[in-house]
């Protein structure tokens, strides 16, 4: 399968990035199965960083060759996904460590719901009701070097600004 990473620079040698921001699935290398999502992200990153240009790095990933890895999969934005994302966003996740996490991308339309849940303004039941109609893309996040070693760089695509 192909996976995509949107940025303001080419990423031919992905690395685990530990940032000062709390991300959905923790510190790692984030990719998307949706090329359009990666293109959108590349434009946003270029605007935020005020340098570089929008690019999408493309990788091949063989899901049949990861049976020896610790993989967590979320099929939908359900209560387990919401708890995992909110714990990571709060920086309090203390559960099992995974090599790869696969699940829905919290997009622009879900951020308000997730932030409201994380801050305690809405409860889990309300959050899940609000998330249900969303058509969320899938992200593959590589949280360890072992997981990342299964990702192979293919090419880079320049995105029109």
- Report pLDDT digits (tens) over 109-140: 677 888 888 889 999 899 888 887 667 789 99
Longest dimension (CA), the chain: 43
Summarised one tens digit per residue, pLDDT across range 34-64 is 999 899 989 988 998 999 999 999 999 998 9
The structure tokens 């308000």 sit at: 112
What pLDDT is recorded for position 106? 74
Residues 74 and 77: their CA atoms lie apart, in Å, by 7
Q: Which residue has the higher pLDDT, 161 or 93?
A: 93
Residues 99 and 101: their CA atoms lie apart, in Å, by 7
The structure tokens 């990666």 sit at: 38
Residues 14 and 153: their CA atoms lie apart, in Å, by 8
Residues 137 and 159: their CA atoms lie apart, in Å, by 20
């Amino acid at each position: 399968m192909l996976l995509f990473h949107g940025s303001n620079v080419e990423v031919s040698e992905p690395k685990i990035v530990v940032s000062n921001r709390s991300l959905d699935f923790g510190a790692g290398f984030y990719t998307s199965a949706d090329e359009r999502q990666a293109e959108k992200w590349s434009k946003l990153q270029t605007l935020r960083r005020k340098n570089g240009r929008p690019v999408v790095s493309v990788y091949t990933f063989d899901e049949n060759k990861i049976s020896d890895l610790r993989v967590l999969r979320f099929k939908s934005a359900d209560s387990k996904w919401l708890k995992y994302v909110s714990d990571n966003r709060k920086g309090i996740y203390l559960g099992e460590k995974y090599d790869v996490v696969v699940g829905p991308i919290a997009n622009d339309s879900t951020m308000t719901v997730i932030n409201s849940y994380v801050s305690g303004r809405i409860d889990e039941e309300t959050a899940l009701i609000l998330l249900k109609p969303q058509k969320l893309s899938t992200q593959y996040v590589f949280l360890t070097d072992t997981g990342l070693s299964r990702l192979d760089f293919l090419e880079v695509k320049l995105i029109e600004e």
